[in-house]
Amino acid sequence: MSEIKEQEKHTECISVFAYESAMMHKDADIERAHKTTQWVCATFVIIVVIFVAAYTVRTSIWLDTINKMVAEIIELANAKGLPTP
């Protein structure tokens, strides 16, 4: 019985104010991490949009170039009286 009383006497605890302060700092850290994650995700989405737009424009330019070249080849073949490819 005396062991139980000694353990009860030596139970350590912190004050409510220290606990609230620690939780407030932890909440601030979590909020900061949440905002950082949002910025990283937004930046990733923006980079993906930029690359997709650049690829689309570049592909469009190449397709226009190929179509113009084919049209000129057909025009030259018609001028020489050759069958069109």
60 falls within a domain: yes
Who contacts 74 (Cβ-Cβ below 8 Å, separation ≥6)? Answer: 84, 85
1 falls within a domain: no
Residue pLDDT, tens place only, 65-84: 999 999 998 888 888 877 76
7 falls within a domain: no
The structure's pTM equals 0.61
29 falls within a domain: yes
Domain that holds residue 63: 13-80
CB 73 within 8 A of CB 83: no
5 falls within a domain: no
C-alpha separations of 8 from 4, 15, 18, 35, 83 in Å: 6, 17, 21, 43, 104
Residue 9: what pLDDT? 63
